[in-house]
Structure 1
């Protein structure tokens, strides 16, 4: 679970991007605000205690294994009481540490802990802070640089805040950098930063958005477009439920639960992870649309989670029209369509098929093998497995069939 949350969640709107004038079609509900007006909302941020416990319970029920919180987004507002700036949860009426509450809640639900940290900071004067006259963002602001002395001070903030995050809360499993595009690898001192991170948390995983570093890749809002573009090392795609990362009350363009489950199946079939986003309101509650979709995913995962967790990509694309995953001798077919009576799997050794069943119910399914007569007579024939799928077993979100293939 990805959690985008910050002081602007009280007003409603994507985090950070409104203060630079929006992000165009990429975030159509990040409605522009003046920088001063955007930042003025921070003191009123006062969530209800215990919000993270509710998110993490929903995440566990939906079959999620880790969660990532926006500890600091591009607007520079820290969800923990940092000692390196005065722009944090300490400036609000909330008397607590939201990062600590998140970490505790994630561990209580058995989830691994991830923290998001934006390298850029559109509030800090040494970065420098974004001004209304810097608009349009991409054409003017990116060319503005601090003095060498101010930049060194800012890097001290970055190193210092990361040290706080990696020493105050026990083991942190994952560090999710962002905001790297505004400076170069050398300007960020990325190699030194990565070394310091790993000295503080030797077992941590770091994403690929710290330039020149990273244990896994992070394509955003979409799957790789072709087999050749699928990363060869570990990868994760982060995805919003609607078109916004933060809570945007006017964004009703939600993906259906079916769409989200299909995306999960496709990601697993290509060997990746899905980091599905939620955007809590300022009080910490989740919109009903998000809670409903998490509930639908939870119900589906209760019967089909074995086809997702601990699996690897299954068959070649020509062998089955849809995603497939594998765990040992168990092959899982993800039906993202309603079958016309039967489905066909190609290129399997027919003598090695020891069982075919509907995963969610465990019901055995009728199947037959097809191959050239000569191959059938000789034994060890490689051919098609034709599986009959009764209509009453077709899942409204996605049907999963398990094929046990001995010796393959």
Structure 2
């Protein structure tokens, strides 16, 4: 059964660019890049603060060039970039007045955010910051189930000296620095709340307590953010409502809901399963897989934030560059099926996805059919069809029970089905797209603002 009508696109009222741009670059970069075996290495290997310090003492990214990062993102068709200002290990990439654990005190000796912000603005890209509310280095961050010292036999005694209020003051102070010292910031990604991760001992005694909105002072923190940067968008991981939701490392089955209503969403995905640089992880997704992931998300009304993990010297490694270049090559020919597009109400055939932008409907073919593809509910609704990669016309026909076209009969096709006759061979592109011009011009996708 087809569901027709104007497509619905759920946008962020004060930042409509987000659902227009659809694709961004995530960058995880910090001390863990030297370890080169996952950004959670401090946690996974339970490395003590004093032992982790060797990475601080050797952090010297001499190949870091923020303009090269910006160029890689732009060439890949990305419209915004989000960089880790501080990850869970507590190390910060700017000259914070609130800590000595910062890039300016390493052999690097510089604030790494300033050139990043400048490079993005020069390239016309939106500026995003990631900031962890977790901090395994800070002396007032209580040890819990995700802390690197969770198995320290003295954790109870250590926690007696740790004051949550002081850590909240530190957290808020650093966010204030980030939103006050670098001009307009478009996007803020917090990571992450985990109140459900409270634990007990075998005899039922309370052990570790998870952390959430009260621990971060999220209500007050969000109020400060809105005051400092009224146009910014903020994600959903503070334990209070944000502007969009962030499924991680999976593709939603359909539009995402909150309170029974569709909400803007963005899937954050890795190239190889690791966010930080992971030298020996060879599980890289191909450009074809990544393009399908992007299409799938947009067909369900979502964005894709695709991660790269630069090396400890500050460059994006060749495997990541290859993947990004493949995405960019496809988007140069097919970008109008992605940017500003969203979900469609028409029933999509098997092994395909629809996106829609106003009166143009885009059929993305994940499997090339045997010359003919049947589109339920579109008979009489399409005035012209073409392959998007080269604007070559695609023949259209509507069959009924009395018609035969060559050796093809309409058996099994529902009334109202439009049939496209495609070339026998697939175009030389990773995912072919047919652009369908609908007969009656529809409005641009509607925006829910309540």
Does residue 365 of the first structure (1) align with residue 394 of the second (2)? yes
Partner of 1:171: 184
Which stretch of structure 1 is more off in the superposition, 176-185 or 317-326? Answer: 317-326
**Distance between the aligned counterparts of 2:248 and 2:157, measured in 1?**
27
Q: 1:266 to 1:180 in 2, by over 3 A?
A: same
Partner of 1:268: 298
Partner of 1:330: 360
Q: 1:63 to 1:43 in 2, by over 3 A?
A: same
Q: How does 1:207-226 map to 2 (within 5 A)?
A: 207-226=235-254
Partner of 1:25: none
- Cα offset, 1:314, TM superposition: 1.7
Partner of 1:135: 151
- Cα offset, 1:145, TM superposition: 8.6
**Distance between the aligned counterparts of 1:136 and 1:322, measured in 2?**
52
> Which residue of 14, 23, 38 maps to 1:14?
38
* Cα contact 1:14–1:248 (8 A) shared by 2: yes
Partner of 1:194: 222
* Cα contact 1:20–1:35 (8 A) shared by 2: no
What is the DSSP-based 3-state SS (H/G/I as helix, E as strand, rest coil) of the residue aligned with 1:292? Answer: helix
Give a deviation string over 1:326-375, Cα, whole Å, max 9, x none.
Answer: 1111100011112211212110141x32110000111111121235679x
Partner of 2:206: none
Give a deviation string over 1:224-254, Cα, whole Å, max 9, x none.
Answer: 1355769711000000011111111110011
Give the unaligned 5+ runs of structure 2.
1-24, 195-209, 404-413, 443-450
> Which residue of 435, 441, 445 maps to 1:402?
435
- Cα offset, 1:213, TM superposition: 2.4
- Cα offset, 1:132, TM superposition: 6.0
Give the unaligned 5+ runs of structure 1.
23-31, 375-380
Give a deviation string over 1:39-58, Cα, whole Å, max 9, x none.
Answer: 32112111125522111111
TM-score (norm 1): 0.88
What is the DSSP-based 3-state SS (H/G/I as helix, E as strand, rest coil) of the residue aligned with 2:373? Answer: strand
* Cα contact 2:37–2:278 (8 A) shared by 1: yes
Q: How does 1:3-402 map to 2 (within 5 A)?
A: 3-15=27-39, 17-21=40-44, 33-48=47-62, 50-128=64-142, 133-135=149-151, 146=159, 150-181=163-194, 182-226=210-254, 232-318=262-348, 321-350=351-380, 352-371=381-400, 383-402=416-435
**Distance between the aligned counterparts of 1:341 and 1:136, measured in 2?**
65
What is the DSSP-based 3-state SS (H/G/I as helix, E as strand, rest coil) of the residue aligned with 1:355? Answer: strand
Give a deviation string over 1:6-47, Cα, whole Å, max 9, x none.
Answer: 0221231222x211225xxxxxxxxx6454332321121111
Q: Which has the higher contact order (CA 8 A, sep 6+)?
A: 2
Which stretch of structure 1 is more off in the superposition, 65-74 or 218-227? Answer: 218-227
- Cα offset, 1:62, TM superposition: 1.1
How many residue pairs match? The answer is 388
Partner of 2:409: none
What is the DSSP-based 3-state SS (H/G/I as helix, E as strand, rest coil) of the residue aligned with 2:392? Answer: coil
- Cα offset, 1:195, TM superposition: 0.1
Q: Which structure's residues are more often helix, by fraction? A: 1
- Cα offset, 1:316, TM superposition: 3.8
- Cα offset, 1:300, TM superposition: 0.4
**Distance between the aligned counterparts of 2:257 and 2:165, measured in 1?**
38
* Cα contact 1:117–1:178 (8 A) shared by 2: yes
- Cα offset, 1:105, TM superposition: 1.2
Q: 1:249 to 1:202 in 2, by over 3 A?
A: same
Give a deviation string over 1:109-159, Cα, whole Å, max 9, x none.
Answer: 11101100000100001113687652399xx98x99955972211111111
What is the DSSP-based 3-state SS (H/G/I as helix, E as strand, rest coil) of the residue aligned with 2:172? Answer: helix
Q: 1:261 to 1:275 in 2, by over 3 A?
A: same
**Distance between the aligned counterparts of 1:368 and 1:144, measured in 2?**
77
RMSD over aligned CA atoms reads 2.6
**Distance between the aligned counterparts of 1:294 and 1:72, measured in 2?**
24
TM-score (norm 2): 0.80
**Distance between the aligned counterparts of 2:92 and 2:284, measured in 1?**
28
* Cα contact 2:141–2:164 (8 A) shared by 1: yes
